[in-house]
Every structure is written in structure tokens, then in C-alpha cells.
Structure 1
Amino acid sequence: MRSGLGSREESGLNYLPMKVWWLAGGAAVLAAAAVTTVVLTGDDKPAPVKVSTAKVVRGPVSTTVSASGAVQAQASRSLGFTTSGTLIELDVKAGDVVAPGAVLAKIDPASAQDSVDQASQNVDSAQDALTRAEDAHDAALATPTANPTPSASSSRGATTGGGQNTGGGGQTTGGGQNTNANTAQNRANQVQQTSDNLMSAQQRLNNAKLSLTQANAKLAGTVITAPVGGKILAVNGTVGSQAGSNVITLAGTGDVVVKAQFTEAEVAHLQVGQASKITLPDNVSAKYDGKVMQIDPAGTVSNRLVRYAALISFDKVPDTLLYGQSATVAVVTASVDNVLSVPSTAVHDGVVTVRVNGKDEQRTVEVGLRGDVNTEIKSGLAEGDEILTAGQ
């Protein structure tokens, strides 16, 4: 029994120091953690707020809406020959830029030239016939009418003497009147006939000249020239093949536009004629001037979002422009010039913070147009005032 008791006592004595040690160790850990927390908390100071300032300046303020789109031809021209023929010359390819009047292609002109030569001969022949008809008509008009004078008849009657002779003389005079009437009628008929011939000859000449004009047009149509300066979009045909009315597709330089898509909220601010800046992906630093030239009245729905297309024209089309390439447009929807302005980040509910002699004070201002970058200040500030833009 004693030995058993001794065992339990010994076990209790051994257990107590272990428990005390565990408690002591745990307390030490907590104490260390507490010390660490205190140390870390003491060193974690808040970072100072960075303050930036700007000057009140005078200049323009504007708002814009931006959208992306693609370069395309607003209208293209299909060019061809006025008659079919064998293509003997092709001077351009797709992508070429051409000047007005530049020769683009030709077909064999031999047949058209033969038509011109024949039509020219017909004009000469008709002109000769008209000249002959005019001469004949003039001659008919100049032919005198036979008309014996009354004195001759009276003299003849007086010589024969007597009423019967006089009567005979009178009968003779009557026959002369009939002859004169017939001669006048014949002359009138001749004048009418030559007049009809003259009209026919003139009509023949007119028709011959019209045929010559048409033949010359067909001959000119064996050559395609550029009606306006622009870029070749497509070429159909090769030298040696048959060509007709659709050989070359040309887009005029002035017909190049960017078709951009604007949201319903953005298009509400768009108007035809508004100035724009166009950016192309091959040179993002260059800004090309343009204008809004058309706004679609109906929108299209994509992913439950309504968008409206607008056409933006170039004031001057760059030579390196590629049809179909992407573009970004920024349309100026409102602007004012020569006004005081501050960065928009400096204005909070009509109040700005002004730094005067190293001290900051809040000041109420009257704002005007709130632009994309700056806000117009109508009153409350002077040019050159220093205002806080951040860190307030």
C-alpha cells in the first residue's frame, strides 16, 4: 500500500512541475505576442496625403463623345467601257491612288474608229447634198413669172381695127392671162418641191451629225479615265480578256468616311457638322480633323444595347489610308473658348480649395461647362490662382 501511495505521490509531484511549466510557457508566448503587437502598432504610421495643385488658366473647354468604327467609302463608282472589246491596256491595280483624268484602262479602238470614219463620210455627203438643195431652192425662187404688159395687147387690138378685131385682141389677151396663171403655178410648185428637198437634206445632215457624235462617244469610251481623284477598290479583268461596262471600282477621295457606332446616350448629343478628331491605329499620335456628316435615324440592337451609326468625314484624307481599317473618333459636342478653367478634379459641389500665402481656404465658385478635362469657372477665381486638385 505504501509503495502504491508512494507511486501516486511521486506521479503527482512529477505532473505538477510539467503543468506549471506549460502554463508559464504559454504566458510567455502571449507576452511576446503582445510585445510584438505593441511594437508593430507603434511603427505603423499613416502615409502622408500627397497634395497636388494647379493654376487657374484661360483657354478652351470642351466635351466630347468617342466611338470606334471602320474606314469605308461612302460611295463608289463603277467604271467601264461604253462598248465591249478586248482589253489592251490596264494601268492600275487595287489600292492605287489616282488623280482626276488619269487613264486607267483601254480596249481595242479599231471597230469604234471605223464607225467614226464612216459617220464622218456620211456627214460630208449630207453636207454636199444640202448645198445642192440650197442652190436649187435659190434658183427656183429667182425664176421670173411670164406676164405680158397690157399696152402690148391694146396696141395689137388697135391695129386690126373694128370691134371684132378688138374682140379678137381681147380673146388673145385672155389667153395670155391663162398662160401667166399656169406659169405662176408651175413656179410655185417648183419652189415647194425645192423647199421640201432642202428640208430633207437638212434632216439628213442632222442625223449624220448625230451619228458622228455617237460614234465619237463610243471611241472615247474605249478609254477609262478617272472622273475624280480617289483610290482604286477593285479591278475586274486582265489584258487580252473581253471587257465591258464594269471593269474598275473607284472611291473618290472626298467619299472616304469613318462609320462609327455611338450609344443611345451619346447620339443624343450629336449633330451634323460637329467637329471631330479621327485617330488611326497605324499612327495614334496623329489626329485628323473631320466632321459629322450623317447620323442614322434608326439604331441597331446588339447585346440589348442600342447603337446608332454616324458617318465622320475627313477634312483631308491621309494618303496612307486603308479601307476597312479601324478608327477612333472623338466628336466635340460642346465647347467654349477663352474662358477661365481648372481641372475638373478640383471642383466639388461648386467649391474649390485655394492656396493663398501657403494657407488653404475653400471658396465657392460659379461653374460653366464641365469639360472632359477642365471645368469652366465663371466667377470666384482669377487667372493664376493656385488651387488644390488632389489631397483635399
Structure 2
Amino acid sequence: MKVWWLAGGIAVLAAAAVTAVVVTHGDKPAPVAVSTSKVGRGPVSSTVSASGTIQAQATRTLGFSGSGTLTELNVKAGDVVAPGAVLAKIDDTDAQAAVDQASESVSNAQDALDKAEDAHDAALATPTANPTTAAPNPSSSRAGGSQTGQNAGQGQNVQQNTQQNSQNTAQNRANQIQQTSDNLMSAQQRLNNAKLSLTQASTKLAGTVITAPVGGKILAVSGSVGSQAGAGVVTLAGTGDAVVKAQFTEAEVAALKVGQAATITLPDNAADKYTGKVLQIDPAGTLTNRLVRYAALISFDKVPDTLLYGQSATVAVVTASVDDVLNVPATAVHDGYVTVRINGKDERKKVETGLRGDVNTEIKSGLAQGDEILTAGQ
């Protein structure tokens, strides 16, 4: 009985010893992994990121100049068209007849103007009659006094009649010139009006065809062949008008500026990065779930061919950057100090920092390129 008790006591003491060892070993902190890096030289940049959707910066609603029966519809939503492509047509019978009639009116008015110009030129070329004065008869001067007086009176009457005839002729010529001038002006006005009518008719005829003013993508089409159509048949977005409309917080938008470089990522191909820039920043924010956000438009430097309006996208805008500067990983800097390893010993050094980027931090003084620093485990 005594032997059993002693054996049991030894077992308990052994278990307690093992437990003590386990507990003691569990309380010991695990060693912290230490990693180092070299002070490098290169660019440092800071970015802000946001999500958004692809949309057209501007759309064009295209229609006909008048109403008519839709005779041709060559596009559907989603089609990509080139500049000048014919998108749709309406019946142009009436419009063509109006152009033909206006063309005939112009031709008739031009003929009338030519005749008016000829008549005016002829009136200007008609010579003006010169008044003549009756010369005294020498034999009459040797005649008696009574005969002389009678001849003088007749000569005066002839002279007055001649002057009156000349004046009448000059007045008639002036009247004729004025009349031909008025006719010329009237003919010119008639031609001007005829040409204006032709221009308007031609514009209306051209308006029976819708062509793409720019290359782009068809967003919407209304109507079908045989239906009545007028304004607003095709909605077109220019190929180069695609932008990302992204939402930024108040803190993020404060760093945004128009023209800043951006990187755009599409969810269907996250591996491809598209370059762009900040095109516009809304001055007023919108409140969503107690958080104010500001919209910004990010344009593509080159719009992808497979881009879909309405699809989601993410953007990263470079808000600050410096090139060719000393830099260290951002995790190496703590309250303005960096731990430098010199000959196997760690030394804490004060540094002057510049731009704190997304990955690295600019070092203005306190370190040299190639210095070994601790980035973790400090």
C-alpha cells in the first residue's frame, strides 16, 4: 500500500513538471522576423483610387429635317460607325421635286437678270442730243429793218424749240436709265430670292438622309422601315467621347486636379491597364449614406474597341509624384526615424522625408543610396 502511494505521488509530480514546462514555453514570445532593404533611387508617387462606370461624355441625337416615311435603316444599337456613314433615309420624293422647281426658278430669274442688264447697258449707251443755235442769215442783215425783225423773231423761236426738244430728249433718257436700273435691281432681287429658295430646298433634301457626323457607337435607334420618322431617330456617342465617371470622397477629391494622369482598369480584363487623365471634377458633391462624394470624369488616352457603355471600371489617379529621388519602403519610416544596420549593428537615425507615396517614401536627407535599413521587425 505504501509503495502504491509513493508511485502515485511520483506520477503527479512528473505531470506537474511537464505542465510547468509547457506553460513556461507557451508564455515565451515568438521571435519577430526581421527584414531589410537598401536605400534606392527612383520615382515616388501617390495615388487615389475609386470605382465608376463607363459613359459617353456627350451624345448626339440625330434626325431628319422633316417628317416622312422611313425607307432605309442601316444601323442598330451597339453598332460602331465611321464618319459620314449613311445611317437612315426617308422618302425624298417631295423634297426632290421642291429642289427641281427651285432650280428652274433660279434659271428663269437668271435669264430675266441678263435681259435687264442688257437693257440697262443700252440705255446708258444712248447719246445725249446736243442743242443747236440757228445762225443769222447774212443777206437778211442787209434787208430792210422790218424783214430783219421778222427773221430774228423766227430764229429765236427755232432756238427755243430746239432747246426744249433737247431737254425733253435728255429727260426721256434719264427716265429710261432710271427705269432700266429699277428693272435691274428687281431682277437681281428675284434671283437672290430664287437662290435662297434653292438653298432651303437643297437643305431639306439633304435632311432626308442621316449620316454620322463623327465616328462612334450607336446607343439607340427608334422607328422601323415603313414607319413615320422625324427628329430623334438615332442616338450616337463619339468613339473618343467615352469616359469613366468615378466617385471620390472629400479627402480624395481635395488632391484631384484636371489633367492629372490616371490608370483605368476594366473588370473583364484586369490585367490590361489603360492610361488616361482627369477631364472634369464636379464642384458639388452628393450625399450617400452620410458620406459626401464628388464625381470626376476620367478620359481614355485611347478608347478600347471592346468598351461597353455602362460597364464598371476602377481608376487610380496620380495626385503627386517625384522622379529620381532617394527612397525607402514606407514601412521603414516611423515618426521621422529609420533603423540603419551598420556592420551588423542597428542604429536609429533621424531622416528628412519628402513625398510619402503608396509604396515608398522620399528621403531628402539622413541616408545615402545603398544604406541597409530595417523595413520590418523593429
Aligned to 1:36: 18
Q: In 2, Cα distance between the equivalents of 1:94 and 1:24?
A: 95
| % identical aligned pairs | 74
Report the residue type matching 1:138 in the other structure. Answer: D
Q: In 1, Cα distance between the equivalents of 2:253 and 2:42?
A: 27
CA shift in 2, pair 1:99/1:384, >3 Å: farther
Alpha-carbon offset, residue 122 of structure 1 = 0.8
Write the mapping of 1:146-295 to structure 2, written as runs, cut at 5 A. Answer: 146-150=129-133, 153-155=134-136, 162-295=148-281
CA shift in 2, pair 1:368/1:210, >3 Å: same
Residue number among 266, 275, 298 corresponding to 2:284 in the alignment: 298
Aligned to 1:117: 100
Correspondence 1:145 to 2:131: no
Correspondence 1:132 to 2:118: no
Q: In 2, Cα distance between the equivalents of 1:21 and 1:111?
A: 127
Deviations 1:63-95 (A, max 9, x none): 111111111112111001112222222222111
Indicate conservation of the 8 Å contact 1:275/1:332, yes or no: yes
Report the residue type matching 1:131 in the other structure. Answer: D
Indicate conservation of the 8 Å contact 2:140/2:148, yes or no: no
Aligned to 1:347: 333
Q: In 1, Cα distance between the equivalents of 2:21 and 2:125?
A: 139
Report the residue type matching 1:223 in the other structure. Answer: V
Quick check: 205-214 or 252-261, which moved more?
A: 252-261
Indicate conservation of the 8 Å contact 1:91/1:104, yes or no: yes
Indicate conservation of the 8 Å contact 2:132/2:162, yes or no: no
Indicate conservation of the 8 Å contact 2:44/2:321, yes or no: yes
TM-score by length of 1: 0.88
Indicate conservation of the 8 Å contact 2:132/2:163, yes or no: no
Aligned to 1:382: 368
Q: In 2, Cα distance between the equivalents of 1:138 and 1:159?
A: 47
- Larger-Rg structure: 1
Deviations 1:150-181 (A, max 9, x none): 2xx11469758612211111111101111111
Report the residue type matching 1:347 in the other structure. Answer: V
CA shift in 2, pair 1:26/1:182, >3 Å: farther
Q: In 2, Cα distance between the equivalents of 1:148 and 1:157?
A: 22
Alpha-carbon offset, residue 253 of structure 1 = 2.4
Q: In 2, Cα distance between the equivalents of 1:23 and 1:91?
A: 104
Q: In 1, Cα distance between the equivalents of 2:157 and 2:270?
A: 114
Report the residue type matching 2:59 in the other structure. Answer: S
Residue number among 348, 353, 366 corresponding to 1:362 in the alignment: 348
RMSD: 2.4
Correspondence 1:74 to 2:67: no
TM-score by length of 2: 0.91
Indicate conservation of the 8 Å contact 1:157/1:170, yes or no: no
Quick check: 25-34 or 88-97, which moved more?
A: 25-34
Aligned to 2:83: 100
Provide the aligned length of Structure 1 versus Structure 2: 372
Deviations 1:278-297 (A, max 9, x none): 11111112221122122111
Report the residue type matching 1:237 in the other structure. Answer: G
Correspondence 1:324 to 2:310: yes
Indicate conservation of the 8 Å contact 1:84/1:244, yes or no: yes
Alpha-carbon offset, residue 26 of structure 1 = 8.7
Deviations 1:37-84 (A, max 9, x none): 134246556543222222222111111111111111121110011122
